[in-house]
Structure 1
Amino acid sequence: MTTPKIRAARAGVAERAVESRHLRRVWGLPGTALGAVAWPVDWPGRLHVRFGYWWQAHLLDCVLDAQLRAPSPARAALVRRLVRGIRVRNLVGWVNDYYDDVAWLGLALLRAEREVGLARPKALATIADRLRGGWTDHGGGGIWWKRHDDFKNVPANGPAAILFARLGDRADLGRARSIVDWIEDALVDGETGLLWDGLHVHPDGTVREIEKNFYTYCQGVALGACVELGSAAYRDKAARIITAVDEHLAADGVLRGHGGGDGGLFGGILARYLAQAALRLDRPEAARAADLVFRFADALWANRAAVVSGPLFGPDWSEPAKEPRPGRPERDLSVQLGGWMALEAAALLERNGITPTER
């Protein structure tokens, strides 16, 4: 049996490791911080030549998780530095051409306002307006993945739906429901209950091709949106997603990995929203969601590599992490954030009195 609060301790160790390796000022400017996208950090990393907009949004989210786990003025100050760093490095404002990126930053900024009192109302308004404008009837509905593209996918629509549901006014709640309904109508695999990635459309709006890949990212954000909406029909959908993940995406209870780069975040995203479902879903599958989070976190921890600055996580949580040599995904900030997210998800359940069931 795991001793009390050990999961919080593991999350704290991951936090310190990521911050010590990756955090850097933006171009030496005081009051700023961003995560270098790879470690060991080379000169392009020190200068933030490569930005990783949505990785930074998840770094901000992880720091907010840590602040809830162990509140401190230093973490609250880091939240402010990260928000300023994102705005400075993005150069052109708060948004970019990718609707999924924009939605993730909106979610993190909304949390920063509600959890540490750092309000950026103009930024949130700009982000929400961009997402509202991304909906069209092409392919039956949904928000585009990218401006001026032909692709609509769950990775963009899921976080947008979560944000609209959390903003909470009547029109935005309607948008959140419309998004989830479109996902369910267009992108559910009838055999497994999992969500496909997305679909391409012709200029006339008809569907050209469906990308029938199963990503843990897609399941996580769809689950999160259903939990936020909260009515009985959406709770039933959430329960179906949990069961489908357990039966089809978890080998011996551990998620399959999606490599480095953007894929390094996918498992952590699913763990985050499984934890929310475990806490908020009034269905038997809530306990199943909690067990998945604990299994993921335990496997991740068991397979960590020990380096000078703390634990190092791999992209596949069922395999031992390797040294962060050039070309290996262990170098990527995304992979380390995905691991940190999973440990924070387990710590969240721990401090809410949830424990793994015997298995």
Structure 2
Amino acid sequence: MYADWAAAAEQAIVTRHLRRVWGIPGTLLGRSGWPPTPDQRLHWHWNYWWQAHLLDCLIDAQLRAPEPARAGAIEVFLRSIRLRNFGRWSNAYYDDMAWLGLAAQRVGANAPLTVVLSELRSAWTPEGSGGIWWRKGDRFKNAPSNGPAAILHARVGEHDRARELFAWMETTLVDPGTGLVWDGLRVDDNELVKMIYTYCQGVFLGACLELSEIDSAARTVRAVAGHCARDGVLHGQGGGDGGLFAGILARYLALAARKLPSGQEADTARALVLASAEACWNGAADAPGGPLFSPEWTERAPANPADHPARDLSVQVGAWLLFEAAATLA
């Protein structure tokens, strides 16, 4: 069932969003909106990290149901990211690069992985007690950059750096009262930004799991269940970048369900993913190419997404992330 839903989400996104870059043969990226505006038809509206997550979903789908055509599309898609990024793998945001690095590592793409790892290593400073910056030229360190960077460093065997980043998040950003992970730290005035995003919970949980920090992972699952879900369904956080947040959390909750010791937290993580998937699927609207998903999984998607967050590629990829996560638990 969940694999079928993931396949339907894939088909919908491939049909509505995947197009050549600037009409160049042998290229492929996701349009950032559907129905597309004129600038989106030309891939002028550029969201590097949305594309990284779309690539990750293509990789998930290839693991779920291998196909030669999709394997070829993954290679084309990765090259197209560099083309649209004007010949570079890097950009100004360290979290964006970490996501591309994670996808590249999964397919053994050494060129982007080497660039991303070099960028992430250079982003660490002792200011603010450690951690990496959110973006170049900024003075903000946050969970969205340190979390995926920790996951990536751990996966390539750089465990000392991964543990440094995890320790910084654990000591700086975890609310001792709720166990939730705050957004970040403004280093110059030592101001904690205590916004709660599902994104932050997901990447911290992923870092815990990669480093076998079982107690911290279990605490995060409990915090998510208590504060980031309603009736067992993860909260949405709108369109734009927020459209990916809950899907990222679902990915790492599914990993927690598989990696945590059998018991309450593993069961809770599994239940959150599966209940969210069922709600998201049941709230989908019929649209050309396949189902259209709502940014809030407990709500019905609009039949006509014009001027609605459901038109954003991020929202649709977030749902696809969710279904691929659920399929790993079936």
For the criterion TM > 0.5, the same-fold answer is yes
User: Unmatched 5+ residue regions in structure 1?
Assistant: 1-5, 114-119, 351-359
| 1:124 matched to 2:113 | yes
Q: Indicate conservation of the 8 Å contact 2:95/2:148, yes or no.
A: yes
Match of residue 299, structure 1, among 279, 286, 289: 279
1:153 maps onto 2:153 in alignment: no
Q: Aligned in 2, Cα 1:153/1:61: closer, same or farther, shift over 3 Å?
A: same
When the two chains are superposed, the root-mean-square deviation of aligned CA atoms in Å is: 1.0
Task: Quote how far apart the aligned CAs of 1:42 are.
Answer: 2.7
Partner of 1:58: 53
- SS of residue paired to 1:188: coil
Alignment of 1:1-359 (within 5 A): 6-113=1-108, 120-168=109-157, 172-202=158-188, 207=190, 209-230=191-212, 234-282=213-261, 284=263, 285-350=265-330
Structure 2 alignment gaps of length 5 or more: none
Cα displacement (A) at 1:348: 1.0
Deviations 1:229-249 (A, max 9, x none): 12xxx1110000001000111
Q: TM-score, normalised by structure 1?
A: 0.90
Tell me the TM-score normalised to structure 2 length: 0.98
The 3 A distance-change label for structure 1 pair 152 and 324 is farther
Q: Which amino acid aligns with 1:213?
A: M
Q: What amino acid is aligned across from residue 85 of structure 1 in structure 2?
A: S
Other structure's SS at 2:328 match: helix
1:92 deviation in Å?
A: 4.1
Does the 8 Å CA contact 1:99/1:144 hold for their aligned counterparts? yes
CA contact (8 A) 2:35 2:306 kept: no
CA contact (8 A) 2:182 2:200 kept: yes
Amino acid at match of 1:17: A
Contact 1:40 1:324 in 2 (8 A): no
What do the CA deviations read for 1:261-295 (whole angstroms, capped 9, x no partner)? 00000000000011111111225211211111101
SS, match of residue 141 in structure 2: strand
Contact 2:279 2:297 in 1 (8 A): yes
* CA distance in 1: counterparts of 2:101 and 2:277, whole angstroms: 26
Cα drift, residue 317 of structure 1: 0.5
